[in-house]
Amino acid sequence: MDNMAATRAQKTKRGRENYGRNYARGRAGERRAAASLRRAGYSVSISPGSAGFSDVTATKGGKTRKIQVKTLSSRRLLTKEAAENRIRGKPYNVRIPAGGECWVYDADGRRHIIRGRS
């Protein structure tokens, strides 16, 4: 028997029905970001797990980019400022390290790139 407590999402019927969809949506966003970077000539690797800040690491010409990817299915974010407000607030509370980036894909497929503050 598993001794781990149920997550908050698993305690509700809607959360149990949605189980796995967030993971799949997130991985799809990571693959989309990786494809975009490859088209731009980067060598790309996608993190196999959720440990650490970066989901995607891209290298080109000796420069490395560490990117966190967020894929939102229920929000239309028309501006970079709206995307930044969304990911820096609850439930995400993303902290972007100096030199890091967060790519946010919204419900309409728009990509907003937010860079860490130096």
Render pLDDT for 5-31 as a digit per residue (tens, 0 to 9). Answer: 666 666 777 777 776 777 888 889 999
Q: Is the pTM of this model over 0.85?
A: no
Q: Which amino acid is at 75?
A: R
The pLDDT of residue 6 is 61
- pLDDT at residue 3 above 80? no
The pLDDT of residue 97 is 87
Q: Residue 77: which H helix or E strand, with range?
A: none
- From the list 111, 115, 80, 110, the residue with the least C-alpha distance to 95 is 115
Specify whether the CB–CB gap between 105 and 87 falls below 8 A. Answer: no
